Amino acid sequence: MTAPAAAVRSSATFSLARRELRRFLINPVFLLGVALAAFGVLGNRDNPADAVDAFVWLAAIFLGGFGMMAAYWQTRSMNRSAEVVDVAPISLPARAAALCACAFVPFLLAAAMLVVAVRLRAVAGDGAWSSYALSDQAATQIARYVLPALTGPLLGVALGRWIRFPGIAFVAFLLLYGWATLGYVLSAGRGDALVLHMVLFAPVAYLLPSPDSGIPLIAWYGTPWLFVGWQLCLSTVAVLVAMLRGADGIVRRRIVTGLIASSALGLVMYVLTVAL
Amino acid sequence: MVRTLLRTVPWRAVIGTAVAATVLGAGGLAFPAVVSVFFAFAFALLAGSAALLLDDPASLVVDCTPTGVVPRTAIRSLGLLAPLAAGFALVGAGVLRGIDVPWAAVSLALVGGVILGFTMACVARAMAGEPGAGAATAVVLVLVIPGLLPFVPQWIHTFPSSVAYAPSSERLWSFVITVCVLAIVTMTVFPRLRWVAGWAAPGVGLRRQTGRSAGQP
């Protein structure tokens, strides 16, 4: 590929990403999620001790989960107009990459929510977290608040690329939410290996219930930063799976190689998270 | 005609969603600590399954045939038996396991949710040929959101998780079922109102021509 041709493709992908981002910002499901998250933040503002833990759910459900449904809709709507869009000089993997760029919106909003939560935690006192080093506290909070909001929309794009079943977005949302709830409830009662893996595989690692809620304090399993690495590997896998659709030739080989590498790295991260 | 019309129902989507609901409900039965959450989600999925029943990819042709809206909707409503059967199987299993939930109110919530999903699809069908995905997402969100927000679960009980919540849940679902039945009758028996609903929605003409679903961006 010549340098000018590469520049044109890069510019086209960037323009498409900008357009997809605009569409995502006015997606009704995503806007509803943002409004409900804001309502949840305002509703919990007067009770800072409980608010910080409640925010984890708000970020995961309304930014990650609703973001996943919105991204799925957006991807499917693009598939429906494939006959027209296929004429444009942009490959399917580049289109998938442009769609994946939308995930930065809920990611940034979740980061803002984390800032609010940290401020509220400072107000409420920090008894539950004092046993953690500052670095581990940061990793735990990033894993709990921010990364589910990034992974959710990316999963939505991957689902939209590969699965035509019209209810898959809300089915996946409720199954993942059910899984996280089950892990949370079981972890309060017992701490065996099965529960550990169920909690760590859940989309939101809700591992530190507030002592105020009457549930005994449960320490974070494993190493927080490695868990962040595991979540980032999952996000990378979601992006590559989305881009794999319609890829051919050398691009396909590169994506498959990247997929194998990120899956292997993720597995290593997960094993180290549990082992260390 | 019944067999022909039933053949056009998107059974894969309807049954697939009902199976996912059954899996969630079975998870609740296996772990009674989360039974109310899992059953509430399962019932939301069953309502979504009911909303997929009216999808018709050939709506542009079908809408012009002499077969009226009433027989078409009535025949397709037979498909409601699938989500209802899955839901009542879960309720029966819960009763047999002796789980302490007000099962009469839970059954009413199941029926109400399924009828609500079908009604939303019925109303949206006036605007699009394949309203299922949009209507199903909407009904799932309507049923799930009240339980996710702070304070709201104190006022609205879409799923009666305890005996104390049963009366308010029964009142809510009795009202919803009544409104839904009226809406279905209105949308099917008075076809002129379908045109009003269609006229009220912007971009309907385009959707009807392209076959895009309601609510889809």
Per-residue pLDDT reduced to its tens digit, A81-96: 666 766 777 788 888 8
B68-110 confidence digits (pLDDT tens): 777 788 888 888 999 999 999 999 999 999 888 899 999 999 9
Q: Say what the pTM is.
A: 0.84
Contact in structure between B51 and B135 (CB atoms under 8 Å):
yes
> Is A44 near chain B, with CB under 8 Å?
yes
Residues from chain A contacting residue B83 (CB–CB below 8 Å): none
Using 50, 70 and 90 to split pLDDT, how confident is the model at B214? very low
Instruction: Find where tokens 């507030």 sit.
Output: A210
For every residue of B100-146, DSSP letters joined together read -S-HHHHHHHHHHHHHHHHHHHHHHHTT-S--HHHHHHHHHHHHHHH
Residue A270 has pLDDT above 60, yes or no: yes
Q: What is the mean pLDDT of residues A146-167?
A: 90
The pLDDT assigned to B166 comes to 87
Least Cα distance to B46 among B97, B141, B94, B117 occurs for: B117
The pLDDT assigned to A191 comes to 62
Per-position b or e across A196-222, b if 16+ CB within 10 A of its CB: bebbbebbbbbbbbbeeeeeeebebbb
**Mean pLDDT over each residue of chain A, to the nearest integer:** 80
**Mean pLDDT over each residue of chain B, to the nearest integer:** 82
The pLDDT assigned to B202 comes to 44
Q: How many C-beta atoms surround the C-beta of residue B193 within 10 A?
A: 15
Least Cα distance to A21 among A115, A144, A107 occurs for: A107
CA-based nearest distance A151→chain B, Å: 20
Judged by phi (left if over 0) then psi (alpha if -120 to 50, else beta), residue A214 lies in left
The pLDDT assigned to B162 comes to 83
Q: What is the mean pLDDT of residues B198-210?
A: 45
In Å, how far are A210, B39, B95 from B13, measured between CA atoms? 40, 20, 28
Task: Measure the CA–CA gap between A147 and A153, rounded to whole angstroms.
Answer: 11
Residue A244 has pLDDT above 90, yes or no: yes
Percent of chain A with pLDDT over 90: 31
Contact in structure between B135 and B124 (CB atoms under 8 Å):
yes
The pLDDT assigned to B196 comes to 59
Q: What is the mean pLDDT of residues A189-200?
A: 72
CA-based nearest distance A166→chain B, Å: 5
Q: Which of B38, B49, B137 sits opposite A69 (nearest CB)?
A: B137
The pLDDT assigned to A204 comes to 62
* Choice among A219-228, B172-181, B190-199 with the minimum mean pLDDT: B190-199
User: Torsions phi, psi of A126, nearest 5?
Assistant: -125, 35
Contact in structure between A237 and A259 (CB atoms under 8 Å):
yes
Q: Which of B41, B48, B149 sits opposite A36 (nearest CB)?
A: B149
Residues from chain B contacting residue A174 (CB–CB below 8 Å): 20, 24, 41, 44-45, 140, 144
Least Cα distance to B160 among B177, B147, B178 occurs for: B147
3-state secondary structure at position A65: helix
A110-122 confidence digits (pLDDT tens): 998 888 877 776 6
Residues from chain A contacting residue B145 (CB–CB below 8 Å): 36
Residue B114 has pLDDT above 90, yes or no: yes
Torsion of CA B112, B115, B119, B121, to 10 degrees: 120
Cβ neighbours of residue B107 under 8 Å, at least 6 residues apart?
A: B88, B91
Residue A173 has pLDDT above 80, yes or no: yes
Torsion of CA A113, A118, A120, A126, to 10 degrees: 150
- DSSP letter at A103 equals G
Instruction: Find where tokens 């042709």 sit.
Output: B61
The pLDDT assigned to A205 comes to 59
Record: contact B149-A43, CB cut-off 8 A: yes
B164-175 confidence digits (pLDDT tens): 888 888 999 999
A7-65 confidence digits (pLDDT tens): 666 777 788 888 889 999 999 999 999 998 888 777 776 666 565 566 777 788 889 99
- Does A87 or B27 have the greater pLDDT score? B27
For A236, the token pair is 């990378």
- Does A247 or A215 have the greater pLDDT score? A247
Residues from chain A contacting residue B133 (CB–CB below 8 Å): 76, 166-167
The single-letter code of the amino acid at B20 is A
Q: What is the mean pLDDT of residues B139-156?
A: 83
Q: What is the mean pLDDT of residues A204-224?
A: 56
Using 50, 70 and 90 to split pLDDT, how confident is the model at B203? very low
Percent of chain A with pLDDT over 70: 75
The pLDDT assigned to A241 comes to 95
Contact in structure between B21 and B42 (CB atoms under 8 Å):
yes
Task: Measure the CA–CA gap between A191 and A207, rounded to whole angstroms.
Answer: 11
